[in-house]
Amino acid sequence: MQVKKQLLGLQPYQPGKPIEEVKKQFNLTKVVKLASNENPYGCSPKAKQAIMDELDQLAIYPDGYSASLRTRVAKHVNVNEEELIFGNGSDEVVQIICRALLNPEKNTVMATPTFPQYKHNAVIEGAEVREVPLVNGDHNLDEMIGKIDENTTVVWVCTPNNPTGTYVTSDNLLNFLTKVPKHVLVVVDEAYYEYVLAEDYPDTVSLLNEHSNLMILRTFSKAYGLASLRIGFGIANAELIRKIEPAREPFNTSRVAQAAAIASLDDPDFVADCREKNKKGLKQFYEFCENLNLDYYPSEGNFILIDFNRDSDEVFQALLEKGYIVRSGNALGFPTHLRITVGSEIQNNEIIEILKDFVQ
Ligand SMILES: *Cc1c(COP(=O)(O)O)cnc(C)c1O
């Protein structure tokens, strides 16, 4: 069996270790996963109710156009319904963009390290990947402009960036958009949008009218706490959406996911509360780092990248044995760092106590 040659060098996605596996391996009764930027507070009770209300409909295919959700999201982000595309997670929107715009004659520009799915999907399409190293955790937007040529079709801006948590300011994004040629799609991945507190974070949606080559990605997986239902969306001008829609599977988002997403938009208090708690949680980690003189990146997401000045797998392993699953920086391009998802206040205190013992 001959698979496409692009697949030969790729690994399937390596997720954070599952809780059940770690319980068994280390004979633990309690295991906490702070590895995948999941919401420690779950999701809105309204979303749970909406899911139950769908249970009698499971035999029926979902609405492939996500019409009800479309109407609700259009109102929420203040765009036209034709300016939205829904995906089985924003991961799938990344895949749709790559299917639609990349091939072996094209190239794509992105930061490194950044969210790995941009590169992964680009490689599958056979496109050339041009990576520009972060500078102090930030996108080097000028260098990225320099990498664009007539064969570039997509550039990726992840803000807040996973895994650093840093963001692109409004001025910098505007400046970047005015410099990128119109034949290049700029994808701004705002997966952590709901957590952001920085005042100079851009109102990216307001830039869509002026920039026909802009696409924004959002998700219900993070602050809305619906990661397991797989639902996210892209926002862009209607013509672009129409052009890429054929690359989307017909029933790519489930009935349950659509209903839960609608209900969670009707509970803004839940998200606001999560944002507030996340802010306090980040503060716990900042204080810990400052007390122990550890470098970290100030984060606008629900995770923090901390430099432990040693092989990150060692620290990862020490935490794992105590029942805390985090992300080792080795797999993320930061071999001495850990990426830790901000948990509940108690979880944060517990992991910080373990880390203090380990570092001191
Ligand atoms: C988590 C994450 C996503 C993927 O979210 P899904 O909607 O669950 O597919 C996309 N981009 C970034 C930067 C993320 O961290």
Verify whether ligand 1 is closer than 6 Å to residue 247 (CB atom): no
37 pLDDT band (50/70/90 cuts)?
very high
Q: Between the CA of residue 196 and those of 36, 167, 170, 172, 253, what are the distances in Å?
A: 18, 9, 13, 17, 26
Residue 176 has pLDDT above 90, yes or no: yes
Verify whether ligand 1 is closer than 6 Å to residue 110 (CB atom): no
Cα gap 288→42, rounded to integer Å:
25
- pLDDT confidence of residue 12: 80
Cα gap 167→190, rounded to integer Å:
10
308 pLDDT band (50/70/90 cuts)?
very high
Tell me what percent of the residues of the chain surpass a pLDDT of 90: 93
Mean pLDDT of 155-177: 98
Ligand 1 probe mutation, 110, 112, 115, 327, most atoms within 8 A of CB:
115
Bridge partners for 84 per DSSP:
235
Rounded to 5 degrees, what are φ and ψ at 31? -130, 135
- pLDDT confidence of residue 360: 79
18 pLDDT band (50/70/90 cuts)?
confident
- Give me ligand 1 centre to Cα 302, in Å: 12
9 pLDDT band (50/70/90 cuts)?
confident
Cα gap 170→11, rounded to integer Å:
35
Residue 116's nearest CA partner among 333, 306, 340 is 333
Verify whether ligand 1 is closer than 6 Å to residue 303 (CB atom): no
* 91 CA: nearest ligand 1 atom: 9
Residue 75 has pLDDT above 90, yes or no: yes
Residue 16 has pLDDT above 80, yes or no: no
Residue 116 has pLDDT above 90, yes or no: yes
Mean pLDDT of 234-254: 97
Verify whether ligand 1 is closer than 6 Å to residue 125 (CB atom): no
Residue nearest to atom 14 of ligand 1 (CA): 191
Verify whether ligand 1 is closer than 6 Å to residue 190 (CB atom): no
* 36 CA: nearest ligand 1 atom: 1
Verify whether ligand 1 is closer than 6 Å to residue 91 (CB atom): yes
* 161 CA: nearest ligand 1 atom: 13
Residue 14 has pLDDT above 80, yes or no: no
Residue nearest to atom 2 of ligand 1 (CA): 191
- pLDDT confidence of residue 11: 84
- pLDDT confidence of residue 106: 98
- Give me ligand 1 centre to Cα 220, in Å: 9
Task: Return the residue matching tokens 């995770």.
Answer: 303
Cis preceding linkage at 163, omega within 30: yes
Rounded to 5 degrees, what are φ and ψ at 273? -65, -40
Give the ranges where 131-202 is alpha helix by DSSP (H). 141-147, 170-179
Verify whether ligand 1 is closer than 6 Å to residue 159 (CB atom): no
- pLDDT confidence of residue 17: 76
Tell me what percent of the residues of the chain surpass a pLDDT of 70: 100
Verify whether ligand 1 is closer than 6 Å to residue 83 (CB atom): no
* 222 CA: nearest ligand 1 atom: 1
Could you read off the pLDDT of 179-196 as tens digits, one per residue? 999 999 999 999 999 999
Verify whether ligand 1 is closer than 6 Å to residue 278 (CB atom): no
Mean pLDDT of 341-358: 96
Cα gap 109→146, rounded to integer Å:
10
Verify whether ligand 1 is closer than 6 Å to residue 189 (CB atom): yes
Residue 15 has pLDDT above 90, yes or no: no
- Give me ligand 1 centre to Cα 26, in Å: 30
- Give me ligand 1 centre to Cα 273, in Å: 21
Residue 353 has pLDDT above 80, yes or no: yes
Write down all domains in the chain, each with its CATH number in brackets.
5-43+269-358 (3.90.1150.10), 45-266 (3.40.640.10)
Could you read off the pLDDT of 120-146 as tens digits, one per residue? 999 999 999 999 999 999 999 999 999
Residue 300 has pLDDT above 80, yes or no: yes
